[in-house]
């Protein structure tokens, strides 16, 4: 194959994608063919505009790979169905933006942040739909009506939000994060009071304050501003934990964690995840197990820094608790703790204690767990 040329035409790609859609779905031809054509057109456009793909020498392989990736995303939402697909998309995007949706210089409750995230994402879905229409040259009144169309739109919305936007200094950022940062800075400081009221009022029929408060929240989100700083220790913990769960194929735990971050009530979490109370309790226990493993072994320094419970602060223990911990440690554990406090590397400390690296990590995790138990009595 000659460099920079894709021997597969749009029609050939479209036919390829159409056959896969017919095999994987129950959708009629009237739905499969237009979707396959849109995918093929998009893939050809990307391949023709990308210098990297053009220089790869295998444009056809790129075209098939890009098309398969988009097709798999679409089929994922199709197989989830309308309701669960929406939950998946909302959960994915909420997990990306939740730490950026905070009024400047204001500490808001989780419930207040949830209200802001809901407002933000509703606007983002509209933007994504407009972009979907524009990029696929669809009528401005087009609305996804079939399950396949909805799945295509949801897959597009996820990709659209995750697009990398180039910034100065050779940096880039996901589009949805840039939108969330701007959205968050659009709110005047005094608006935090309105948000809290909108969340906290019981909504009695003779009290007009909640409706007025919600209305003001939405009306005042208008001005452009500079983005917020992206660094956040809490955000790093969340991102690392989500990555840890996904690496271990614990997607249900990741979804549960995301909904917990939004401070949703238990019954709503059960409804969103389609779980019975017993199933939710089992999932919660499974999540706690992985959370403990994450916090006490894989990323203990990051978690303890976030909790202000590092070695420099005696693992967050009071003087009395610290003495209690030391009294429960074996001589080898006490020596291990001393080496850690002295800044000796794990590999060197393991040699001094005549332990293998695995034995050393197990002993350190056990020590951290003992401190955790004392701290959380």
For 118-162, the pLDDT digits (tens) are 888 988 998 999 999 999 989 888 888 899 999 999 999 999 999
pLDDT for 154 equals 93
pLDDT for 207 equals 34
The whole-angstrom separation of Cα 334 and Cα 354 is 14
Tokens 């003495």, residue located: 323
- Say yes or no: 345 and 253 in one domain: no
Measured in residues, the chain has a length of 377
Per-position DSSP letters for 318-347, written without gaps between them: -HHHHHHHHHHS-HHHHHHHHHHHTT--HH
pLDDT for 201 equals 31
- Say yes or no: 252 and 345 in one domain: no
With a CB cutoff of 8 Å and minimum separation 6, the contacts of 352 are 335, 339, 344
- Say yes or no: 101 and 136 in one domain: yes
pTM higher than 0.75 for the full model? no
Given a contact cutoff of 8 angstroms between Cβ atoms, the answer to whether 43 and 136 are in contact is no
For 177-214, the pLDDT digits (tens) are 889 988 887 765 444 333 333 333 333 333 333 333 33
- Say yes or no: 283 and 367 in one domain: no
Q: Which of 193, 219, 245 is the last residue of a domain?
A: 219
Number of domains in the chain: 3
Distance of CA 185 to the CA centre of its chain: 21
The whole-angstrom separation of Cα 170 and Cα 168 is 6
- Residue 314 predicted with pLDDT over 90: no
Residue 225 maps to a domain: no
How does residue 223 score in pLDDT terms, banded at 50, 70 and 90? very low
Q: Which of 253, 276, 306 is the last residue of a domain?
A: 306
Coil vs helix vs strand at 143: coil
Residue 295 maps to a domain: yes
- Say yes or no: 122 and 151 in one domain: yes
Residue 91 maps to a domain: yes
Residue 224 maps to a domain: no
Q: Which of 155, 185, 219 is the last residue of a domain?
A: 219
With a CB cutoff of 8 Å and minimum separation 6, the contacts of 91 are 255, 258, 259, 272
| pLDDT, greater one: 207 or 278 | 278
Mean pLDDT, residues 13-23 taken together: 91
For 75-125, the pLDDT digits (tens) are 999 999 988 888 889 888 988 888 788 765 555 566 677 778 888 898 899
The range of the structural domain enclosing residue 214 comes to 10-219
- Residue 36 predicted with pLDDT over 70: yes
- Say yes or no: 64 and 210 in one domain: yes
């Amino acid at each position: 194959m000659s460099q920079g040329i894709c021997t597969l035409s749009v029609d050939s790609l479209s036919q390829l994608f159409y056959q896969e859609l017919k095999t994987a779905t129950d959708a009629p031809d009237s739905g499969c063919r237009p979707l396959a054509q849109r995918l093929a057109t998009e893939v050809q456009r990307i391949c023709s505009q990308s210098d990297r793909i053009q220089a790869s020498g295998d444009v056809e392989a790129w075209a098939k790979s890009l098309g398969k990736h988009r097709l798999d995303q679409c089929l994922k939402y199709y197989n989830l169905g309308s309701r669960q697909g929406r939950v998946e998309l909302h959960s994915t995007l909420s997990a990306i933006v939740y730490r950026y949706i905070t009024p400047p210089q204001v500490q808001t409750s989780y419930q207040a942040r949830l209200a802001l995230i809901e407002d933000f994402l509703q606007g983002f879905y509209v933007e994504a739909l407009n972009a979907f229409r524009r990029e696929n040259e669809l009528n401005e009144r087009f609305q996804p009506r079939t399950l396949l169309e909805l799945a295509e739109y949801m897959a597009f919305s996820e990709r659209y939000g995750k697009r990398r936007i180039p910034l100065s200094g050779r940096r880039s950022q996901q589009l949805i994060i840039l939108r969330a940062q701007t959205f968050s800075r659009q709110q005047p400081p005094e608006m935090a009071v309105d948000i809290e009221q909108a969340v906290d009022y019981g909504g009695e029929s003779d009290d007009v304050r909640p409706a007025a408060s919600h209305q003001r929240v939405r009306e005042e989100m208008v001005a452009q501003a500079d983005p917020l700083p992206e660094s956040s220790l809490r955000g790093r913990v969340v991102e690392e934990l989500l990555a840890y769960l996904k690496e271990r194929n614990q997607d249900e735990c990741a979804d549960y964690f995301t909904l917990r971050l939004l401070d949703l009530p238990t019954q709503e979490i059960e409804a969103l995840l389609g779980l019975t109370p017993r199933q939710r309790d089992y999932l919660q226990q499974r999540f706690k197990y992985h959370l403990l493993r994450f916090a006490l072994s894989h990323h203990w320094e990051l978690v303890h820094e976030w909790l202000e419970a590092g070695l420099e602060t005696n693992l967050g223990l009071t003087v009395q608790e610290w003495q209690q911990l030391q009294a429960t440690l074996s001589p080898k554990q006490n020596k291990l703790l001393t080496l850690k406090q002295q800044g000796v590397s794990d590999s060197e400390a393991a040699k001094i204690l005549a332990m293998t690296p695995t034995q050393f990590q197990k002993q350190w995790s056990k020590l951290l767990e003992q401190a955790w138990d004392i701290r959380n009595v």
